[in-house]
Structure 1
Amino acid sequence: MQYPKLIQGTLIKRYKRFLADVQLEDGSVVTAHCPNTGAMTGCAEAGWLVWLSPSTNPKRKLAYTWEVVKTAKHHWIGVNTHKANAIVKEALEQNVISELDGYSRHQSEVKFGEENSRVDFLLTSDDRLDCYVEVKSVTLLQNEVGYFPDAKTIRGQKHLRELSSIVKQGKRAVLLFCVQHTGIELMSVAEHIDPDYANELKLAIENGVEILCYGCHIDAENIYINQTLKFFINVNS
């Protein structure tokens, strides 16, 4: 997926979750929208280079959206979690995700389950089981391992229960981690952050929910899925 023309700057600070002050190359300071509800641990250090997308919508309160950051270790991170679904959609259309190849129809945001949920993608074809795919964006890197979630998530627990119920109905259910951090090469569940989510994930795996983990190429012009990553979990802990 190609970004629109991005504007480079230097991060001053992120605050109130959805706001980030950025100094542009001309010395001016702007406040950008931060489209990331997570803790963003290790993704928002003052002084790091960031890239913003401008908006031409006059009704918007903020004229810029924070899209990408480059860390001191030269890792690229896609901070816009809303991009994860678009990244995966493009990969599905281009048959990049081999485990999900062969489905002729892709529907987005489909209602399902008993807890009033919407699945990110429903993949269907006349010759195979329906496949429900839930996408999660990953940006947390700690001790050389990537983790999800980076904050407690009641909503994420609900999604896991819904995916388990899909498998019990004889259909496929997939939890797909879209890793928007080029420094992450190995991934696991953040049991130290949200033990309840970790327990739900272990139950989902036992119930037959499939786990896929894909990393992305990221720079100031493009972001797209380019590799599979290993996922591990201690099911007995």
Structure 2
Amino acid sequence: MDIDKNTVKATFLRRPNRFQGFVNLNGVEIMAHVPNTGRCKEILKEDTTVILREENNPNRKTAYSLIAAYKGVRLINIDSQMPNKLVEEALNNKIIDELKDYNYISREKTYGSSRFDFKLAKSEKGLNVIKEEYYLEVKGVTLEDNGETRFPDAPTERGTKHILELIEVKNSGRGAGIMFVIQLDDVKSFRPNDEMDEKFGKALRKASENGVDIMAYCCKVKEDSVTLYKRIPVEL
């Protein structure tokens, strides 16, 4: 997926709150919007080279969004809206082998009182009759250590709630899955970050035991594009 706006490099200075980041752009200190509520402490360090997306919106308080950062030679995308866009593109292009047979794709759909990122469905060949439904939740992952990626990087009651709701979907006879989109490349595996949120890890293992699909895919990340492309092992 190409980033359809101009991108520029800058040097990270500080992050006073989760939505604001100050950077040095061409010798001038400016404030940029950070589209990620996670901590990203191991990524957004002083003097780190970051990528800004130019927004060209006169109604915004900030002219740029901070969408990626270099961690050594590895570029990590931190835009929290990117994972859902990547999954939608991959579903439409039949990139995700486990889900390529679903021919109906809908965003932000509810089951009962729960709202999930995607609802997928299959129809009988040649007929407009729904044969099977599948609910999918997507989580973006930016935390990496020696090739191992983890989620979450901060406690998430909401994330745990989503997992427990997927178990209810699966128990109703429908398909259910959670996909962790690793927003970087060249990684070895994924696991729940029990050290940060033990309840989330327990819920994820319970979901797996109840037949919920647990998937993790990494991305090719460039300064002007991001592509979902390869499944990696999930270690529960």
1:218 and 2:198 aligned = no
Q: Percent identity, aligned pairs only? A: 31
Partner letter of residue 185 of structure 2?
T
Instruction: Tell me the residue number matched to 2:52.
Output: 52
Q: Deviations over 1:15-41 (max 9, x none)?
A: 2111111111x2112100001111113
Q: Aligned residue pairs: how many?
A: 229
Q: 1:118 aligns with which of 104, 108, 115?
A: 115
Given that 1:32 and 1:66 are in contact with CA atoms closer than 8 Å, whether structure 2 keeps it comes out as yes
Are positions 1:152 and 2:155 aligned together? yes
1:229 aligned partner: 232
CA distance in 1, matches of 2:88, 2:97: 13
2:175 counterpart residue number: 172
Tell me the residue number matched to 1:94. 93
Q: Deviations over 1:115-147 (max 9, x none)?
A: x33110101121442111100000111343110
How does the TM-score come out when normalised to structure 2? 0.93
Instruction: Measure the CA separation in 1 of the matches of 2:84 and 2:174.
Output: 21
Correspondence for 2:211 = 208
Q: Aligned AA for 1:23?
A: N
Partner of 1:5: 6
Aligned equivalents of 1:119, 1:227: Cα separation in 2: 23
> How far does residue 89 in structure 1 lie from its aligned partner after superposition?
0.7
Match of 1:18 in 2: 19
Task: Name the TM-score, length of structure 1 as normaliser.
Answer: 0.93
Q: CA deviation at 1:181?
A: 2.1
How far apart are the structure 1 equivalents of 2:114 and 2:37?
A: 19
Alpha-carbon distance between aligned partners in 1 of 2:188 and 2:92, rounded to the nearest angstrom = 24
Give structure 1 regions of 4+ aligned residues with deviation exceeding 4 angstroms.
none
**Secondary structure of 1:230 counterpart:** coil
- Contact 1:41–1:140 (CA under 8 A) maintained in structure 2: no
Q: How big is the shift at 1:183?
A: 4.6
Question: Structure 1: any 5+ residue segments left out of the alignment?
Answer: none
1:162 counterpart SS class: helix
The CA distance in 1 between the partners of 2:223 and 2:53, in whole Å, is: 10
Structure 1 vs Structure 2 CA RMSD: 1.2
CA-to-aligned-CA distance 1:151-179 (integer Å, 9 cap, x gap)? 11000111011100011111110100000
